Amino acid sequence: MDFLKKIGPWLNAARLRTLPLSVSGVLVGTGLANYYGKSDVLIFILSLFTTIGFQVTSNFANDYGDGVRGTDNDDRIGPKRALQRGILTRKVLKRGILISVVIDALLVISLIYAAFGPQNLLFSILFLILGAASIWAALKYTIGASAYGYKGLGDVFVLLFFGWVAVLGTLFLYTNFLTPWAFLPATAIGLLSAGVLNLNNLRDLNSDKKAKKNTLVVLLGFVNGKIYHYLLLVSAFVCIALFLYLNFESSPVSYFPLLAFIPIFFHLRKIYLTSSPDVIDPELKKLALSTFFLAVLMYINCNIFSYF
């Protein structure tokens, strides 16, 4: 019971519901590597733990950054965070962030060694830089005077790190090469992840505006933010459909990952009919899980067609 009392606040700050989305890029990157004939269980496990570590660090940092700035207040519609609720203090949460960063660094080093060993020094240095950049991005979304999440740049960083770095980086860890077509699913995962962030910003529009958190939705307004949301998700569909058309057999079976877009298009209809931020919060989970579902289907699809 005492253990649950101690771990409970940290589970709250870790925001476990965000983790399926965070591993989507690794699943797609691994699936692509399997399609190209490369697999490694250790790289797969370490990649999953590393991306989960980055996400937990980001969640701790967002809890701290928005809490310290006062952005997390009673006006916010979403679930209350740990610092806002008072179940973790600033000092304790900051210590947790530092420990999380150390764990991330150890995971990055372990993953790089598993992928490249001592031979490929250039690749190791490149991925050390990418790992450091991922940790920096996790921290600087809301922490510090130059926090990019307060300048309307969050969507760009999500596309970059959840999409391109996650998918293409994972693929390269297995194969030591990239293909031009891999940018299509990488972009799709990045766009869908940006869609989840955009939903979050649509929900928090009024409280963010009061707190001077200039997200892209604050800059665009609610109506234009919805239009932007449609563009993100439809573009993701086009990227996946084009990738499947160009890379796999033309049989209907090869397109079964597109099933993941059925709930996504239902979600788009819901957003189209929505005129208030107050009802958006449940849609976050739907879109995040649909993205994870897409990643699982892509992983299965790539493995099926790797045998042909």
What single-letter DSSP state applies at residue 138? Answer: H
Average pLDDT score over residue span 174-188: 97
pLDDT on residue 72: 66
Q: Give the position of tokens 């529009």.
A: 205
CA angle 110, 135, 127 (to 5 degrees): 45
Half-sphere exposure of 34 (CA within 13 A, CB side): 20
Provide the pLDDT for residue 89.
87
CA distance linking residue 108 with residue 129, whole number of Å: 10
Cα torsion through 289, 291, 292, 293, rounded to 10: 90
Cα Rg, the chain, nearest whole Å:
19
At residue 247, the pLDDT reads: 86
Q: Over the stretch 260-304, which tens digit does the pLDDT of each residue have?
A: 999 999 999 999 999 888 889 899 999 999 999 999 999 999 998
pLDDT of residue 250: 66
Q: Where are the beta strands (DSSP E) in 15-93?
A: none
- The 10s digit of each residue's pLDDT in 65-109 is 888 877 767 666 767 777 877 788 889 999 999 999 999 999 999
The length of the chain is 308
**Position 223 pLDDT exceeds 60:** yes
pLDDT for the residue numbered 5: 62
CA angle, 14 then 18 then 19, to 5° = 85
The mean predicted confidence, pLDDT, of the chain is 91
First to last CA, the chain: 53
Task: Report the predicted TM-score, pTM, of the whole model to 2 decimal places.
Answer: 0.94
For the cut 60, the answer to whether the pLDDT of residue 3 exceeds it is: no
Which tens digits make up the pLDDT trace of 108-162?
999 999 999 988 999 999 999 999 999 999 999 989 878 999 999 999 999 999 9
Q: Which are the contacts of 260, defined by CB distance < 8 A and separation ≥ 6?
A: 290, 291, 293, 294, 297
Residue with tokens 């307060």: 150
